[in-house]
């Protein structure tokens, strides 16, 4: 149990350690300099975000949840509620406590949208080639239990699953791991390490097989570069939604 706790909160400890460093860098894109959220705030946020793991671990001991059997369909419904609540709370705290207008992260120039579609096409072709020649899928985590569970789901459950993974999930994750986490890391350790560390923390929240984790990490790097270059979350959110929809369509089929 101790090792489980250390693993779940490893990213929190990492952020607390990095927060002790002095600010040495400033992002080149002016829109990234308006955030006054620091790593201590982010460590608290990651503590709450990661603690959701224990909800699933102790499912049968939680009064409200133990009325329902633990299944992917039920968990997805809970995910939808929890993620929506976190997203709403995150917006309210950032907007009214930190006085940060989060909407500035959602403005984007047309030229970046065209680049997103190019990246989507390149990623799709690269992944298909890896599947064809090496039988390695860097986008999909081929969990047979999960695939079988989806095949047995009702239409309503699949709709909830799609909404969680393709709509709510990308918006929440990009808001946290790119919109809030990237800039404070950038100020402490610079662009390269900020990309690497933010992608590592994002991968930690998705960790499963080693192959899938490598794909998630590299995808996180791409999302971070898109955010840093455009100064907007729109490109990374659209690409994230594209990737997740690609996975969902594959799984459902």
240 burial level (CB within 10 Å; 0-12, 13-18, 19+): buried
Task: State both tokens at 163.
Answer: 């909404």
- The domains of the chain are located at 2-252
pLDDT at 141 over 60: no
The pLDDT of residue 253 is: 61
Please report, for residues 82, 115, 171, the alpha-carbon distance to residue 131 in angstroms, rounded to integers and kept in the order given.
Answer: 34, 24, 28
Could you tell me the pLDDT band of residue 146, with boundaries at 50, 70 and 90? low
Measure the CA–CA gap between 218 and 230, rounded to whole angstroms. 19
Determine contact, residues 172/3, Cβ cutoff 8 Å: no
Q: Quick count: other Cβ atoms within 10 Å of Cβ 114?
A: 10
In tens, the pLDDT along 150-182 reads 777 778 878 888 888 888 889 889 988 998 889
In tens, the pLDDT along 102-132 reads 666 766 666 677 777 787 788 778 877 877 7
Measure the CA–CA gap between 145 and 177, rounded to whole angstroms. 28
pTM: predicted TM-score of the whole model, two decimal places: 0.83
Q: Quick count: other Cβ atoms within 10 Å of Cβ 125?
A: 10
| Half-sphere exposure for 115 (CA within 13 Å, toward CB) | 15
In tens, the pLDDT along 203-245 reads 988 766 777 788 889 889 989 998 888 888 888 898 889 888 8
In tens, the pLDDT along 7-46 reads 889 999 999 999 999 988 887 766 666 667 788 888 988 8
């Amino acid at each position: 149990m101790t090792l489980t706790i250390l693993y779940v909160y490893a990213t929190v400890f990492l952020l607390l350690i990095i927060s002790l460093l002095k600010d040495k860098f400033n992002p080149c894109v002016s829109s990234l300099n308006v955030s006054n959220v620091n790593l201590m705030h982010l460590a608290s946020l990651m503590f709450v975000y990661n603690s959701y793991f224990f909800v699933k671990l102790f499912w049968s001991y939680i009064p409200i949840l133990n009325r329902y059997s633990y299944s992917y369909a039920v968990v997805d419904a809970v995910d939808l509620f929890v993620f929506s609540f976190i997203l709403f709370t995150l917006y309210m705290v950032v907007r009214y406590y930190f006085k940060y207008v989060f909407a500035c992260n959602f403005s984007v120039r047309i030229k970046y949208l065209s680049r997103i579609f190019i990246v989507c096409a390149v990623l799709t072709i690269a992944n298909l080639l890896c599947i064809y020649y090496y039988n390695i899928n860097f986008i999909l985590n081929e969990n047979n239990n999960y695939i079988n569970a989806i095949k047995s789901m009702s239409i309503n459950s699949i709709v909830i699953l799609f909404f969680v993974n393709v709509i709510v999930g990308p918006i929440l994750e990009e808001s946290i791991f790119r919109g809030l986490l990237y800039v404070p890391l950038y100020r402490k350790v610079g662009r390269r390490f900020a990309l690497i560390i933010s992608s590592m923390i994002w991968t930690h929240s998705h960790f499963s097989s080693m192959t899938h984790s490598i794909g998630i990490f590299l995808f996180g790097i791409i999302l971070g570069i898109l955010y840093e270059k455009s100064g907007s979350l729109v490109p990374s959110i659209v690409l994230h939604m594209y990737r997740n929809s690609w996975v969902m369509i594959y799984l459902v089929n």
